Structure 1
Amino acid sequence: MNSSEASQFLLNLYHSAVDAVSAKKCLPHFLPNPPAKGRTVVIGAGKGAAAMAKVVEAHWQGELSGLVVTRYGHGADCKKIEVVEAAHPVPDEAGRQAAARILQLVQGLTEDDLVLCLISGGGSALLALPAEGITLEQKQAINKALLKSGAAISEMNCVRKHLSAIKGGRLALACAPARVVTLLISDVPGDDANVIASGPTLPDASTCAQALAILRKYQIAVPSNIEQHLSSGKGETPKPDDARFGGHQHHIIATAQEALEAAAQAARNAGITPYILSDNIEGEARDVGMVHGAIAKQIAKHGQPFARPCVLISGGETTVTVRGSGRGGRNAEFLLSLAVTLEGQPSIYAIACDTDGIDGSEDNAGALLRPDSIDRAEQLGLRARSLLDNNDGYGFFSALNDLVVSGPTRTNVNDFRAILIL
């Protein structure tokens, strides 16, 4: 397998992974029956929300209406369900207005009505309705600080829930007495439904005290009104023992594990033995890159723990603590760290991409790494380690013309990584 064939093999694995967790494949099986007498109202938020809404329209038997909010550029051509686009990962006014409209839309429903809630990754930023006494600007500032801090997604969403008027189960309570069925595409390690998009329709076991501790852990200063909101318990969320959630249902319809298994099957079909390391990898992207690199070198040099040729596949959600001024999401950072660790080791190729098609806030899904990437960069005057120190993975792979640009995939089960050892 030459360099071009190896790169195409890795791209095929990525596309197989993404296709396996698309709404059109995963959602129809989970649709509930229409209500016997009442209305069906569809609401939702996330990078996959519009695609999910379009699938609902295509398969629903009966009348429906509703509103979903998705990221700019991630819309879909729906006929009955309104699609609004807003900002991600930092919320904007469009997202705030959409969240307020969704809350208004579920007012006055009856026990005969059904609310179908479509949730996917990104919904937390898109469904931005600050709690009373908190401004959108304050939430934006805290969101930006959390994104740069290296906080895990579960930690970020714990804070978001307790500063919100709609997350952490509050949206479900607003739907009462209607029945709520929530369909979720999981973008969180461990597939905890309460964490996905900050769980707008699910009860929440986390507390204001935990949210405040997270802010202090990452040394994020907050205004006095937010400090008071959390320390007083005013921002507390409805808990799992709340009877008002009785009769509601939720189903996780797509996960990272399903994406990894699809990629593994694609590898087998191509005659390469796959090994799924984990669907649940977290931690600093550069540290994860170092560990993956060490394993790949052990295989290449010693045939341990696996014989080559093989491909190592993993998922999850890494983080980046931003210290430099470069460009680049967590997948580019992972790959650049992997490149530094491999030091041009022959016959090792890799891909790392976000399954939503956007690596952080850039315009690429991720990038490809080849054995000669370091050498080619040095010929351009680029030092990989220096760019890594500056968090500039995007700059490194852009200069090599090795960015993977897929455009929005309209699904999201987070990171996809594959390392091919020939």
Structure 2
Amino acid sequence: MADVPSSLSHGGRGGATAIRTRDGRGPPRTTGRGPGTAGARGRAVSRILIVAGEVSGDIHAGNLLASLRDIEPELDAFGVGGDRLAQAGLDCVARSEELAHMGLVEVVRELPRLRGILRSVVRTAEQRRPQVAVLVDSPDFNLRLAARLGKIGIPVVLYVSPQLWAWRRGRVRTVRRLAREVLCILPFEAGFYEEHGVRARYVGHPLLDDLDRDQLLDDPPQRFERRLALLPGSRAMEVRQLLPTMLEGLAQLGGGEVAEAVLVEAPGVSDVVDEVLGAHPPDPRLWRAAGDERRRAHASCGLAWTASGTATLECALLGVPMIVGYRLRALSAAVARRLVRVPHVALANLIAGERAAPELLQEAWNPAQLVAATRSLAAGGADVQRRALREVRRRLGDPGASRRAAEAVAEYLRSADL
């Protein structure tokens, strides 16, 4: 497999690095207002389309919209979102959860319904004429939407970059054609896009904003070394694939190894967690943490078993050593093996530039190997991993991603000739 782009230091600490291509893409440098209805003071109201797929995309986009309202108080926002975007004032045409699918095969099954959502969003955009569309995550859906929006003259900014550096790199040509700019949240992504002629900037990772707001970055709670965090992911299918193995592994570890376990629930998966727990014998050591308490509970743990995505960055930033699991259905996994071009699956390992945390993939994600890896970390590997993961914090930089992303989007809202 090919290496991850080497520009891991791109953007540095806290800095959002603007990268311009020679074709003049990006917001025009005019200062007039775009189309919109008149506000209370007679000036045009800015209008934006935001489409966020999945729970994590909804959270990131919701924080961006909240920051954008500090800059543009009379902003009219509509699109596809979940609870966080709705809380920030998005008029929802459809729900983020309707775009959340884990595997390639699973997406195919949902195509008719996804096409219906696509048509609805485009029809609404034609009627309401936003000055810019911010498309977050869900690249299979959002790149198709970007093509349709381009045909009706609505400029597109991508926030939370499609992971083209990992697989399906040929789509970078599509991004170059369809997007005015990509706002990147991983430090090596801007360099990758720059190499392919795409305007991009690293704005920082919004998870830093969340942890800083919760006062967990520099002032974590007391840690209990024999408390284990279970983080089975933010998608229903992910929870079904990972949580049963976690529960079976926990049952094989005695109280002297794991005194208690915390099931850290992502928003929107409680029903699936109930379903999986109901199919397994109860464990008196296990308790659940959701909502505002889940991150503080996570930070108090001495070890985590986690899905491979953003949760690995949360572990790294909180200083919680981890074992990473990843499992797709057989056909999706077979396709992924042919297409994925990175040496690690876990985001934390990619940013660290080494396999700091063990990864148990596909068939290796089983109770026996999970227990063995846990005992290895308890025997001294956890301290080694903590030292390696400090590099993740350094490379991600400082909080402020949502504000920097909002300032980038505001450049488009303030431009008249889009």
Q: TM-score range by the shorter chain?
A: 0.3 to 0.5
Higher helix share: 2
**TM-score, normalised relative to structure 2:** 0.40
| Larger RCO, structure (CA 8 Å, separation 6 or more) | 2
**TM-score, normalised relative to structure 1:** 0.39
